[in-house]
Homo-oligomer: A and B are copies of this chain.
Amino acid sequence: MSLDTRAEILLKTLIERYIAEGQPVGSRTLARQAGLDLSSATVRNVMADLEDMGLVCSPHTSAGRIPTERGYRVFVDTLLKVKPLNLNELHKLEQELHADHDPQHLIENASHMLSEVCKLAGIVMTPRREEQLAFRHIDFVNLSNRRVLVILVTQDGQVHNRIIQADREYSPAELVQSANYFNATYSGVSMGDVKRALLKEIQQASDDMQRIMQAAVSMAREALSSEEQPDDLVVSGESNLMDFPELGDVRKLRKLFDAFTAKRDLLRLLDQSMRTGGVKIFIGQESGYDVLADCSVVTAPYSADGRIVGTLGVIGPTRMAYEQVISIVDITARLLGGALSSNEGSGRLESSGR
């Protein structure tokens, strides 16, 4: 029950045409477009077969055919030829995702670029690598009555800050002293190891350690523990989705936008696709979330220093220009990974299968 070449060509042409125009494709148009020198009647026969296989359907009698989700699936799996993106856009991406910027900006730029270039919504999950990321610098700043601002800098230059409630008032000198202790002791140590070391310190040294150090340790611990769930999502260009008539229903849009602000489901989806290497595509229902019913999500994990730390991608209607989107997502993931890595130059452009 597999497709012969002719049926493949016709399916491919149909989907390409439908992606471009957004309207059901009739047999006549298809016959002309496919370049196969077939009559429309023959095409109709093939279409009937494709419909039996569940790859295309017609919204109503006499309305031409549109691809089903399974049709899209076959298309992206076997028919589609990924289009390399043009140099202009590549340069633009490279420029925005240069290692010079700080991580937060890089994430935002990546999301923005994805949305701009694809004309869809761009999503980037913030990198998750506390465990393997090295500690670089900590700082305690007195705010007012017992409130202490803890500033934590990780190896990649990301700055996290958080206010904690101390158990007593500390003098600036005490705070400087404890910060120095941490910076001297733990600089370069991985975050996971720092946490484990702190746990040890606090239980073994309970009496013989100066009280201030104890406090510092517990403060650092508190600050670190709150960094456990910083999984966040940067979404850009949502309004691009308003241009697609198939999502034009305001209620659908509303649900979609709410999902963007809720973030929870999207995070789970991205998390899921973090485990597999390479570009992953969820078409319609495949994502498992109702809100994304008429949408496709194209994702790719990105890595920093050789380790996968997050996922990025785009969301758009199932009718999206996969050929281009796939390579854009792929390249963006690699550029972002490269920019986030400490030794710039890695993750450049050695092409790899998707």
Contacts and interface: CB of A to CB of B under 8 A. Distances in A.
A136 interface: yes
A134 to B, nearest CB: 12
Contact of A153 (B151, B238, B253, B261): B151
A238 B250 contact: no
Contacts of A242: 250-251, 253-254, 257
B144 A149 contact: no
Interface string A210-228: 0000000000000000000
Interface in A95-117: 100-102
Interface residues on A, range: 35 or more
A1 to B, nearest CB: 41
Q: Which of A101, A153, A180 neighbours the largest number of chain B CB atoms within 10 Å of its CB? A: A153
A238 B254 contact: no
B144 A136 contact: no
A258 B243 CA distance: 12
B163 A101 contact: yes
B153 A159 contact: no
Interface in A132-170: 136-137, 139, 141, 143-144, 147, 149, 151, 153, 157, 159, 161-163, 165
A248 interface: yes
Contact of A257 (B141, B143, B144, B239): B239
A342 interface: yes
Given A100-B165, A143-B157, 20 more contacts: A101-B163, A102-B163, A137-B139, A137-B141, A139-B139, A141-B157, A147-B157, A149-B153, A149-B157, A149-B159, A151-B151, A151-B153, A157-B163, A236-B261, A237-B261, A239-B257, A239-B261, A242-B251, A242-B254, A253-B253
